[in-house]
Chains A and B, each alone.
Chain A
Amino acid sequence: MLTLLFDGVAYGMLLFILAIGLAVTLGLMNFINLAHGAFAMAGGYTTVLLMQHAGLPFLVCVPLAFVFTALLGALLEVTLYRRMYNKPHLDQVLFSIGLTFMAVAGVDYVVGSTQQLVQLPDYLKGRTELWDGALGMGHYRLAIIVVCALLAIGLQLLLVRTRFGSQLRASVDNQRVAAGLGIDVNKVFLVTFAVGSGLAGLGGALGAEVLGLDPIFPLKFMIYFLIVVAVGGTSGLTGPLLAALLLGIADVAGKYYVPKLGAFIVYSLMIIILMWRPQGLFVRGGK
C-alpha cells in the first residue's frame, strides 16, 4: 500500500517535471503545444546515446540532456514557434502535431524503433525496505522524488523571488501592459520556452528507465502531459504539481488494483473533472 503510494508519488513528480514546461507555454503564450513530448524524448535519447556511444556516466548525461533540449527549444522558438503564437488554436494544434510526427519518424529513422534501455549506475539500483516490507523504496525512484522536489522548490523560488520571475508573471497576466512597462516580452518568452523544454528533456532523461523510451514516446505520453495541464490549470506551479501527483498515484494504483481497466480510470476521471470544472481543478475562481 505504502509502496504503491511511493511509486505513485515518484511517477507524479516525474510527470510534473515533464509537463511543467507545457503549462508555462500554455499559460504564457496561450499556445497548445502537442509537440512537448518530443522535447522529453529528445532528452531521453540524448542520455541514452551519450551513455552508449560516448561512455559518459549517467550523472553527467542527465544535465547534458537538459542543456541540449533547452538549446533545441530555444532554436525552435526563434525559428518556428514565435510565428505561431497569434494563430488560431486549430493551426497551433496541427503545427505541433506535424512537429511530433516529424520527431517520431525522424528518431525511428536515425536510432531505430526498438525500446532503449538505460544502464543505471550501481548506487541507484538498490531498494530499501522499511517496516517489514510495508514500504519498499527503489533508490532510483527515491532519487527522482528528491531531484524533482528540489526542482519544484527551485522553480517556485525563481518565480516568486527573482526579477525574472516577476517579469514572467507580469507577462502572463497581461502581455501588452508588460511590454509597455519595458519588459522585453519576446526575451521572456524565449527563456521560458527554453527552460520549459529543458525541463521536459530532463524529465525524459530521468524517466527513460521508468516510463520506457521508444520513438512513439511523444504520442504515448501526450495525453498525460495534457491532463496535468488541463486539470492543474496554468496559473501557478501548485496546480500542475497537485494534478501530476494525483494522476501519478491514480495511474499506479489503478493499474495495480484493477489491471483489467488499465488507463480507463485515468481518462474517465479526467473527463469527469473537466466537465465539472472546465478551467481546471486548482484554479482560483474557476467554476
Chain B
Amino acid sequence: MNSVSHRLRSSSQPRWWEFGVWALLLVLPYVMPSHALLISEITIIALFAMSLDLILGYSGIVSLGHAAFFGMGAYSAALFAKHIHPDPLWGLAVATMVSAVLGLVCSLGVLRGSDLTRLMVTLGVALILQELANKLDFMTGGADGLQGVVMGPVLGRFEFDLMGQTAAWYALLITLLVFLLLRRVVHAPFGYSLQAIRDNPLRARAIGIPVHARLMSVYTLAAALAGMAGGLQAQTTGFASLDVFGFDRSADVLLMLVIGGTGWLWGGIIGAVVFKSLHSVISAWTPQYWTFWLGLFLVLLMLVGRERLIRPWTWGRRA
C-alpha cells in the first residue's frame, strides 16, 4: 500500500528539466522578439493539442472534430471583444465557458457507440458549426471572417504590441497555468480513472467507476480548454475566420499529438513545436504542395508504428 502511494506520488512530481524548459520558454519572447508572433502561435496550438490529449490520450476517444471547440472559443472571444468588452481575460473566460457548454452538450454524443460513431459525431458537429458561422454572416462576417477586433490591455496594463511580445507572454502564461492544472488533474484519482476507462471500459465500470459521468466531465474540460486556445488565437491575432472550424485543423492537431506522443502532457507541446517547424521548412520549399509531404510523413509514420517515433532506440529493430 505504502509503495503504491509512493509510486503514484513520485510519478506526479515535476522533474527538474520541466522547470528548466518552462523557464526557457518564458524568456523566449524576450530573446527573440522578431519571432514573438510565431511563439504565440505555437503556444496556442500546443494548448489546443494538450486539450485533445485529455480525451484522446487519457480517455481513448478518437475525435475528428476537436476544432469545433477551438472555433467556438475563437468566435466567442472575438464577438465578446467587439460588442461587449475589450478586456482579454474576461473574453477568455467567456470563450472558455461557451465552449465548455458546447462540450457538455456534445459529450452526450460520444458516450455510446463505436469509434466510427464517435468520429462521425465529432466531425459532424465541427461541420455544422462551420456551416453556421458561414450562414450567420451578419454576426460572424461569413466567409470574409470577423475583422476589426480590438483588444484592450491585459490586466489593464500590458498593451498588445505589433511585435507580438505581449501576446506571446500572455499565451505562454495561460498555457503554463493550464499545464499546471492538467498535471494536477491527470495525476489525481480522476485522471487514473480516465486511463482505466481508456484501457477497458467494461472493467472500469465493474470496479465502480462512473464511466459516463467521467467521460462527460473530461470531454467538457477538454472542450473548455480547446475553446480557451481558440479564444487566445482570436485575441492575439485580432481576427476569426471560418478556417478555425476546418477539418484540416482537427487533423493537424491529431498529427501533432501523435508526433509528440499521446497520454503525457508534454506530447502536445513537443508535437506543436515539431509540427510547426516541419510546416515552415516544407512550405518554404514547396508552398502549394506541402500537404503531400505531410501525408507521406503520416503514412510512413503509421506503417512503422507511431510509438517508435519517440523511442529512437527501437528504430533499428524490425516491427
Contact = CB atoms under 8 A, between A and B. Distances in A.
Interface of A: 26, 32, 80, 83-84, 87, 89-95, 97-106, 108-109, 219, 223, 226-227, 229-230, 260-264, 267-268, 270-271, 274-275, 278-279
B144 interface: no
The 6 closest A-B pairs by CB, nearest first: A98-B298, A278-B113, A101-B295, A105-B292, A102-B295, A95-B302
A84 to B, nearest CB: 7
Interface in B276-319: 288-292, 294-299, 301-303, 306
Contacts of B125: 271
Contacts of A102: 291-292, 295-296, 299
B121 A99 contact: no
Given A227-B120, A260-B135, A262-B131, A274 B298 contact: no
B297 A98 contact: yes
A91 B135 contact: no
Nearest to B112: A278
B251 A97 contact: yes
A202 B112 CA distance: 35
**Most chain B C-beta atoms within 10 Å of own C-beta, residue among A98, A105, A229, A261:** A98
Interface residues of B, number: 42
A274 B121 contact: yes
Interface in B57-102: 62, 64
B311 to A, nearest CB: 16
How would you classify the secondary structure of chain B's contact residues: helix, strand, loop or mixed? helix
Contacts of A90: 56, 62, 254, 258
Given A262-B135, A271-B125, A274-B121, A109 B116 contact: no
Contacts of B298: 94-95, 97-98, 101
B112 A98 contact: no
B148 interface: no
B127 A223 contact: yes
25 contacts: A26-B116, A32-B115, A32-B119, A83-B303, A84-B303, A90-B62, A90-B258, A91-B306, A93-B119, A94-B301, A95-B303, A97-B298, A101-B294, A102-B295, A223-B120, A229-B116, A230-B120, A262-B131, A262-B135, A264-B128, A267-B128, A267-B131, A268-B124, A274-B120, A275-B112
B172 interface: no
Contacts of B299: 80, 95, 98-99, 102
B34 interface: no
